[in-house]
């Protein structure tokens, strides 16, 4: 009875104290000490050692202080009629020690009619507009020249571009009788240089009224990425406006996101992406919205060709499409290509893999020896394309041309002592010219592969006691392109 009572008391003591290990108790004590220390050093609402200072906002832009010319700010009054330029300049600069320098091509007797009261700077501008001469000033000198010169640095790297966008037909024949057969669309760039193009455009503004010669000159310094112009002040103002327009266009950028998706259907028969189902599921889930490229109009139809789409809510277009396609099969993605390009400048994109293989074996037999030679070749698979973008405020015009290649078949054949490999390639030419809004995703190309595998087993060397099985599935590769605006 005593032992039973003692056992009951011991069990009750354990239950009341709880099954807690000493390690837990030590950790809890350590945490309590750290919490107490944090309470001691935690700042209170009132900090005695902090002083608040109120000050106006700071402008982070640097301040440039130029050298002011005092005599330009002085007020004078000019009232002349048919007075030679030299006499007007003498009246204008009276009372100053400024040296006046006139170029040899200045007509000093040109008559001036001017009635104006204001600063010397305002009157000099009026004289420049009336005579067409250039006036440059400094603290101690006034220069009058017929022509002014200016160097414009173009916002573009140096270099000459050559290339071709699109597919070329098959060449048949030689020499003058050569012809190109087959359908093809291409755009070629041969020795294109933006600096020469801008210089030619500027030259058109320097033409005289009769159109026979230029008033001034323009030179493109391509190695320095600049253009030098020498002309009259009036024409220089026009040149500045046109170059400013070019500079603005060259400063526009766009980010092209290119994603390659491989879709494997989970259906038992050979099929690819069912775009009708994709559209219905995307609309029902609220993740995808298909529309006509470059607009906000909702698109209809059973094909993705020529259609764009965007993601809604937290989804971007590519992520939303992957989620929708996963309802029909499995989707794998290749490494995405992100390319930032300048407006109107071609950009080259390549994501390819070289597949080397033994393509040919030849044997040469002589009276004394036999030699075997092999030939190696390679197939290129992946995406290879060129794109040119014309960046605008709300959308971008895109020209995309290239090729998507995938392995369609891969067979091996024993020839003598060598194993030869025969690789079949399926190609999809990419020729896309359209307008897209920023954030719209478009399918610019696709190619399908039908993969068939077979398996045969036998028992006791009898095929009839074994099993034969075949499997066929389709892999559809699509290329998605999404433009993003860069401010």
Whether this prediction's pTM lies above 0.85 is answered by: no
Taking alpha carbons only, the member of 300, 260, 272 closest to residue 404 is: 260
In sequence order, which residues have a C-beta less than 8 Å from that of residue 423 and are 6 or more positions away? 355, 357, 379, 407, 409, 410
Q: How far apart are CA 483 and CA 481, in angstroms?
A: 7
Instruction: Kindly report the length of the chain.
Output: 487
Is residue 120 packed enough to be buried (19+ CB in 10 Å), middle (13-18) or exposed (0-12)?
Answer: buried
Q: How far apart are CA 282 and CA 292, in angstroms?
A: 16
Using 50 as the pLDDT threshold, list the residues of the chain that sit under it.
2-3, 180, 269, 454-455, 457-469
Q: How far apart are CA 381 and CA 426, in angstroms?
A: 9
Per-residue confidence (pLDDT) for residue 118, from 0 to 100? 92
141-145 vs 99-102, strand pairing mode: parallel
111-119 vs 75-84, strand pairing mode: antiparallel
Q: Are the C-beta atoms of residues 386 and 348 closer than 8 Å to each other?
A: yes
Q: How far apart are CA 182 and CA 164, in angstroms?
A: 17
Q: How far apart are CA 403 and CA 425, in angstroms?
A: 12
Q: How far apart are CA 382 and CA 405, in angstroms?
A: 5
pLDDT in tens, 300-351: 655 555 567 777 766 666 777 777 777 766 766 666 778 888 898 888 888 8
Q: Are the C-beta atoms of residues 137 and 93 closer than 8 Å to each other?
A: no
In sequence order, which residues have a C-beta less than 8 Å from that of residue 362 and are 6 or more positions away? 372, 373, 374, 375
* Strands across the sheet containing 141-145: 99-102, 141-145, 134-137
Place of tokens 């406006």: 241
Q: Are the C-beta atoms of residues 275 and 328 closer than 8 Å to each other?
A: no
In sequence order, which residues have a C-beta less than 8 Å from that of residue 281 and are 6 or more positions away? 288, 324, 327
Q: Where are the alpha helices (DSSP H) in 150-256?
A: 194-205, 233-250
Handedness of CA 212, 213, 218, 223 (dihedral sign): positive
In sequence order, which residues have a C-beta less than 8 Å from that of residue 169 and are 6 or more positions away? 180, 181, 182, 183, 184
Per-residue confidence (pLDDT) for residue 58, from 0 to 100? 65
Q: How far apart are CA 396 and CA 482, in angstroms?
A: 11
Q: What is the dihedral of CA 258, 320, 446, 277, to 10 degrees?
A: -170
Per-residue confidence (pLDDT) for residue 460, from 0 to 100? 40
Per-residue confidence (pLDDT) for residue 242, from 0 to 100? 93
Residue 291 in tokens: 């529309």
3 state DSSP class of 348: strand
Taking alpha carbons only, the member of 381, 374, 460 closest to residue 418 is: 374
For residue 452, CA distances in Å to 268, 270, 382, 409, 475 come to 12, 10, 21, 10, 11
Q: Are the C-beta atoms of residues 324 and 310 closer than 8 Å to each other?
A: no
Taking alpha carbons only, the member of 408, 399, 391 closest to residue 449 is: 408
Q: Are the C-beta atoms of residues 349 and 339 closer than 8 Å to each other?
A: yes
Q: How far apart are CA 428 and CA 477, in angstroms?
A: 10
217-221 vs 226-231, strand pairing mode: antiparallel
First-to-last alpha carbon distance for the chain, in angstroms, is 90
* Helix orientation angle between 233-250 and 194-205, rounded to the nearest 10 degrees: 150
Q: What is the dihedral of CA 88, 90, 93, 96, to 10 degrees?
A: -170
Per-residue confidence (pLDDT) for residue 92, from 0 to 100? 92
Nearest 5°: the CA angle 86, 91, 95 is: 125
Q: How far apart are CA 250 and CA 219, in angstroms?
A: 20
Per-residue confidence (pLDDT) for residue 284, from 0 to 100? 67
What stretch of H or E contains 320? helix 317-325
């Amino acid at each position: 009875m005593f032992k039973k009572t003692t056992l009951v008391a011991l069990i009750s003591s354990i239950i009341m104290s709880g099954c807690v290990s000493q390690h837990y108790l030590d950790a809890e004590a350590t945490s309590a000490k750290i919490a107490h220390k944090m309470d001691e050093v935690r700042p209170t609402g009132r900090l005695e050692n902090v002083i608040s200072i109120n000050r106006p906002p700071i402008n982070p832009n640097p301040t440039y202080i130029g050298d002011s010319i005092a005599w330009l700010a002085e007020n004078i009054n000019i009232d002349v009629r048919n007075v030679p330029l030299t006499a007007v300049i003498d009246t204008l600069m009276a009372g100053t020690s400024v040296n006046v320098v006139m170029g040899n091509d200045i007509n000093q007797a040109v008559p001036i009619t001017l009635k104006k009261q204001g600063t010397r700077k305002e009157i000099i501008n009026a004289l420049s507009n009336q005579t067409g001469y250039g006036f440059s000033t400094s603290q101690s000198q006034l220069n009058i020249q017929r022509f002014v010169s200016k160097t414009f640095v173009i916002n573009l790297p140096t270099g000459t571009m050559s290339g071709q966008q699109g597919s070329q037909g098959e060449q048949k024949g030689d020499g003058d009788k050569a012809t190109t057969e087959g359908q093809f669309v291409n755009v070629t760039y041969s020795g294109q240089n933006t600096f020469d193009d801008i210089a030619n455009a500027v030259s058109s503004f320097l033409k005289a009224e009769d159109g026979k010669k230029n008033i001034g000159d323009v030179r493109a310094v391509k190695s320095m990425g600049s253009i030098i112009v020498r002309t009259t002040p009036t024409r220089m103002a026009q040149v500045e406006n046109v170059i400013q327009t070019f500079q603005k266009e060259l400063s526009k950028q766009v980010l092209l996101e290119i994603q390659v998706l491989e879709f494997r259907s989970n259906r038992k028969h050979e099929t690819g992406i069912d775009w009708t189902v994709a559209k219905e599921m995307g609309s029902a889930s609220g993740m995808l919205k298909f529309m006509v490229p470059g607009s906000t109009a909702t698109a209809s139809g059973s094909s993705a060709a020529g259609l764009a789409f965007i993601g809604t809510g937290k989804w971007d277009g590519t992520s939303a499409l992957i989620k929708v396609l996963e309802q029909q099969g499995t989707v794998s993605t290749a490494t995405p290509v992100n390319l930032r390009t300048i407006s109107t400048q071609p950009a080259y994109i390549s994501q390819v893999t070289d597949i080397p293989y033994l393509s040919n074996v030849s044997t040469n037999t002589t009276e004394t020896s036999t030699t075997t030679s092999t030939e190696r070749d390679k197939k290129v698979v992946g995406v290879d394309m060129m794109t040119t973008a014309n960046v605008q405020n709300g959308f971008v015009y895109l020209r995309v041309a290239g090729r998507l290649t995938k392995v369609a078949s891969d067979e091996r054949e024993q020839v003598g002592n060598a194993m030869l490999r025969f690789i079949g390639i399926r190609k999809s030419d990419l020729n896309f010219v359209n307008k897209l809004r920023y954030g719209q995703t478009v399918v610019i190309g696709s190619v399908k592969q039908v993969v068939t595998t077979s398996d045969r087993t036998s028992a006791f060397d009898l095929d009839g006691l074994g099993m034969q099985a075949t499997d066929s599935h389709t892999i559809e590769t699509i290329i998605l392109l999404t433009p993003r605006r860069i401010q």
